[in-house]
């Protein structure tokens, strides 16, 4: 089978590999019917994910059909359509039992990072009962594509931000994860949502698709928040952009005693200027997604309360995945998300 593979820093290639087989009795083999390219894949490419293993098949956003299931898999069976979770987790350890699956002692972000992922034809999913979410018959592959990663991330970010109906929520970054976060924040019906984005085309996309949201460029952020909050600052800030400037914007834009949630992945170390922020009494929440709510996210999609299909702007067969990467990495042609389908 063909597999898009991490060869070395700065170098991915589409190469031939053997089809995966069941190794453990909790494994499943999934035939990939649709995948996607994520910013985290680019972070691996550029050497910003030290735990990534050279030689692995990249990709962790995918849906497909179960081809084989290990003897201890009970949630899914061959023939079932499924969304694959970005996180591999056992469900039994100290962290998993508390919902902190990103820190599972047996996993975390494994697929497409430390073990072969989904930009290929077939993928082995360990702990399949935890790592696979059944797709209802009335939900398409494109509707379900982001359940296991960027939608799970947005849902988790909104959840841990403790949003109330009285809050003004600032989301920094309107890339794919930012847009998923926006939909999930909206589930909490906050008083106002502000999206700050530097790119003109993405600001226009938000304005056209989410008319109740205030959309601003970075230079407008302080003025907009001053007007909305009587100069207090945002009650909740979710930083998704992942730049030094947006990291600083996040804590500066927050009111005293606010929650600042950071789900961005940075290429360099960020510094907290504690003397400058002393007295703001901020709560920071930062890290990788605990993707343990995928069943609930799928239910919300089925009910029509979440729809991320508009984020898919480009589609390529696996044989042309490098073209998809070129467009996605270069932010060309109004791209938001690139879907990869089998040849």
Give per-residue pLDDT as tens, 259-291.
999 999 887 889 889 999 899 999 999 988 889
Give, for all 343 residues of the chain, the pLDDT tens digit.
Answer: 999 999 999 999 999 999 999 999 999 999 999 999 998 999 999 988 889 999 999 999 999 999 999 999 999 999 999 999 999 999 999 999 999 999 999 888 999 999 999 999 999 999 999 999 999 999 999 999 999 999 999 999 999 999 999 999 999 999 999 999 999 999 999 999 999 999 999 999 999 999 999 999 999 999 999 999 999 999 999 999 999 999 999 999 999 999 999 999 887 889 889 999 899 999 999 988 889 999 999 999 999 999 999 999 999 999 999 999 999 999 999 999 999 999 9
pTM of the model: 0.94
DSSP string of 281-341, one letter each residue: --EEEESS-----HHHHHHHHHTTS---GGGEEEEEEGGGHHHHHHHHHHT-TT-SEEEEE
The pLDDT score that the predictor gives to residue 282 is 96
Contact 174, 299 (CB under 8 A): no
Measured CA angle at 237 (ends 235, 239), to 5 deg:
180
The pLDDT score that the predictor gives to residue 268 is 83
Contact 68, 179 (CB under 8 A): no
Q: What is the CA radius of gyration of the chain?
A: 20
- Residue 102 has φ and ψ, to the nearest 5°, of -60, -25
The pLDDT score that the predictor gives to residue 14 is 97
Q: How many CA atoms lie within 13 A of 239 on its CB side?
A: 26
Judged by phi (left if over 0) then psi (alpha if -120 to 50, else beta), residue 309 lies in alpha
The pLDDT score that the predictor gives to residue 266 is 84
Residue ranges of the alpha helices (H) in 210-285?
221-229, 244-253, 274-277
* Tokens describing residue 176: 């794919």
């Amino acid at each position: 089978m063909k597999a898009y593979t991490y060869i070395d820093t700065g170098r991915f290639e589409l190469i031939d590999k053997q089809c995966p087989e069941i190794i453990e009795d909790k494994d499943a083999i999934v035939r990939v019917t649709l995948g996607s390219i994520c910013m985290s894949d680019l972070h691996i490419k550029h050497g910003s994910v030290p735990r990534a293993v050279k030689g692995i098949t990249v990709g962790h956003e995918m849906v497909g059909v179960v081809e084989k299931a290990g003897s201890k898999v009970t949630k899914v069976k061959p023939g079932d359509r499924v969304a694959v979770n970005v996180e591999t987790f056992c469900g039994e350890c100290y962290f998993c039992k508390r919902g902190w699956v990103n820190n599972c002692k047996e996993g975390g972000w494994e697929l497409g990072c430390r073990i072969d992922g989904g930009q290929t034809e077939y993928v082995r999913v360990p702990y399949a009962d935890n790592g696979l979410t059944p797709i209802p018959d009335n939900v398409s592959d494109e509707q379900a594509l982001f359940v296991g990663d960027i939608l799970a991330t947005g849902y988790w970010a909104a959840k841990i931000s403790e949003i109330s109906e009285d809050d003004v929520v600032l989301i920094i970054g309107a890339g794919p994860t930012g847009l998923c976060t926006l939909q999930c924040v909206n589930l909490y019906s906050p008083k106002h949502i502000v999206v700050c984005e530097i790119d003109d085309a993405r600001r226009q996309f938000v304005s056209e698709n989410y008319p109740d949201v205030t959309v601003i460029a970075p230079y407008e952020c302080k003025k907009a928040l001053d007007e909305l909050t009587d100069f207090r600052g945002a009650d909740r800030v979710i930083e998704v952009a992942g730049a030094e400037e947006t990291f600083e914007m996040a804590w500066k834009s927050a009111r005293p005693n606010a929650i600042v949630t950071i789900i961005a992945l940075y290429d360099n170390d960020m510094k907290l200027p504690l003397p400058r922020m002393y007295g703001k009494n901020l709560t920071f929440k930062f890290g990788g997604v605990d993707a343990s709510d995928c069943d609930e996210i799928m239910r919300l999609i089925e009910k029509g309360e979440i729809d991320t299909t508009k984020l898919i702007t480009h589609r390529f067969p696996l044989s042309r995945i490098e073209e998809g990467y070129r467009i996605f990495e270069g932010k060309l042609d109004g791209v938001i998300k690139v879907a990869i389908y089998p040849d």
